[in-house]
Chains A and B, each alone.
Chain A
Amino acid sequence: MNARKVTTASLLTALALAVYIVEAQIPPLLPLPGIKPGLSNAVTLFALFFAGPGVAAPVLVARILLGGLLTGQAFSMLYSAAGGFLSFAFGACVYRRFPRNQVFVVSMISAVLHNIGQLAAAAATSSAAVFAYLPALVASGLVTGLFTGLCAQYALLHIGKIGFFKKNALTASGSFISQRTEDKNH
């Protein structure tokens, strides 16, 4: 990993953690387990499309580990990891195939997969009965995935306007900045 990648990853990790910790202070909106806005996933998604899975993976892992420790919820790291792994695996496989105006699609599917992964982990440790929550978590995954996906999408579409990134775009394979400098009208 070159210095540019490491720096990018560190910056994005710090950003993801900050968002995660702030969001963790907000009490749960609905009395259903696993329903969270998941705003830090916008950062991971941005990292994925901006700099490829090689950078996004460490950002995600660091966020899960440090976020769990810093918010005092070390136990739930298992569930975050299960969900995170499933959704990241999906994202890493397909991110090249989606144009930048469909980043929200990847995000919504990833969010649903994240919830399914968490649910599967809960079922493995508790009982299969928790799958009764599947429909609710699918619905919330779709909604939160849309929101965070749009955040990441707009960031990606307009990041090129910042002069620094126009000239010094990462050329890691799969970087959309280098391949598509023209915005598609959407």
Chain B
Amino acid sequence: MWTRISAILLIFAILAPLCGCEAKSPKSQSVEFFTMDTVMELTAYGKNAGTALHAAQAEIIRLDRLLSISDPESEIYRANRDGFAELSGDTAALVRESLALYELTGGAFDITVYPLMDAWGFYSDEYRLPSDEERARLAGLVGSDRLALEGDALTLPEPGMGIDLGGIAKGYASDRAAETLADNGVASALISLGGNIVALGSKPDGMPWRVAIRDPLDENAFSGIVRVTDTAVVTSGGYERCFELDGKSYHHILDPATGLPARNGLISVTIICESGILADGLSTALYVMGEEKALAFWRAHLELFDAVLVTDDGRVLVTSGIAEAFSSERDFEVVR
């Protein structure tokens, strides 16, 4: 009897590990919904994925109601209408972060561009070209240093001033969504909020998440693919929203200094860093800065983030910190 058992044990011992050779693909769950004016898709792995995803979805929708500029119930809407508002924790945190970013980027990131954006028609979809005088007048209402934030109370001193948190709302929401997922026991997830990507952990098999960067000139192609773990990837580009008038095109990323769409040599900026809110803010800021200032800014803040820039003459620039994780079918230049 023992001899037979030995034989069976031997066969089992040899065959059993072979089953482990093929990677088991664990179950993933996803939710997809529309909010903050865009499509959101969250994918999570793990036993508690379903509950976690619904919690994350609820959180994102809650933030949208708080921060929307068009929803009369939102705090931002009331602040813009009244010139004053008592902000709740999240909103106040966002405004504080925006002010910090304003300082950090030397004014390139500025939430007070609301009146300019409104003048161009980006909020009403009735696009128009503001005149030079109009832009000069509105310039007096722009500048985050004019805002007064005391505790959680926000004051917009001049009538006609307004703030738009659209430049970091999705980034903040993606960070909060990732936190919610993690709090619910998810270790591996991918969040896409209208193209703002946050990778939580790595894929279930241990490999990094692969995030493709959309080619600004060809919506079916990619500038490259970056491999990330526990990182946010946010891309800003004028191509995302623009209109044409008299043969010229105007996009939605305004330079706060001039009131005109930023035309400083970059057509797409992708920021890769741990914080979604920082990635979101910097992607707009570096787009406004243009190639030279953006690279100088990166060199001054190497430890904070990495970037992939696409210039208007078709070059793809990749900062050295992320170069090894970046691959592309096109030629690209590594910047140090």
Contacts and interface: CB of A to CB of B under 8 A. Distances in A.
Contacts of B1: 97
B2 A90 contact: no
B20 A128 contact: yes
Contacts of B5: 94
B14 A138 contact: yes
A131 interface: yes
B18 A90 contact: no
Contacts of B10: 109, 112-113
A113 B13 contact: yes
A116 B9 CA distance: 12
A70 interface: no
B6 A112 contact: no
Interface string B113-136: 000000000000000000000000
A96 B2 CA distance: 9
A140 to B, nearest CB: 13
Contacts of A102: 3
B14 A112 contact: yes
Interface in B1-48: 1-3, 5-6, 9-10, 13-14, 17-18, 20-21
- Interface size class for chain B? 10 to 19
A121 to B, nearest CB: 13
Interface string B145-171: 000000000000000000000000000
Interface string B224-262: 000000000000000000000000000000000000000
Contacts of A128: 20
Contact of B18 (A94, A113, A134): A134
A105 B20 CA distance: 27
B14 A97 contact: no
B17 A94 contact: no
A90 B17 contact: no
B21 A112 contact: no
A148 B264 CA distance: 76
Interface string A112-155: 11001001000000001001101100100000000000000000
A165 interface: no
Q: Could you tell me the dominant secondary structure of chain A's interface residues?
A: helix
Contacts of A112: 10, 13-14
A138 to B, nearest CB: 5
B2 to A, nearest CB: 4
B13 A94 contact: no
Contacts of A119: 17
A132 B13 contact: no
A131 B20 contact: yes
Given A112-B13, A112-B14, A94 B20 contact: no
B3 A98 contact: yes
B21 A132 contact: yes
Contacts of B18: 131, 134-135
A131 B13 contact: no
A71 B163 CA distance: 73
A131 B14 contact: no
Nearest to B23: A128
Contacts of B9: 90, 109
Nearest to B4: A97
B307 to A, nearest CB: 32
A134 B17 contact: yes
A133 B2 CA distance: 29
Interface string B91-127: 0000000000000000000000000000000000000
A29 B47 CA distance: 47
Contacts of A93: 2
A131 B17 contact: yes
B207 to A, nearest CB: 12
B13 A116 contact: yes
A94 B21 contact: no
B20 A109 contact: no
7 contacts: A97-B2, A105-B3, A106-B6, A109-B9, A112-B13, A134-B18, A138-B14
Interface of A: 90, 93-94, 96-98, 102, 105-106, 109, 112-113, 116, 119, 128, 131-132, 134-135, 138
A-B pairs, 9 with minimum CB distance = A97-B2, A94-B2, A109-B10, A134-B17, A131-B17, A138-B14, A94-B6, A116-B13, A109-B6
Interface of B: 1-3, 5-6, 9-10, 13-14, 17-18, 20-21
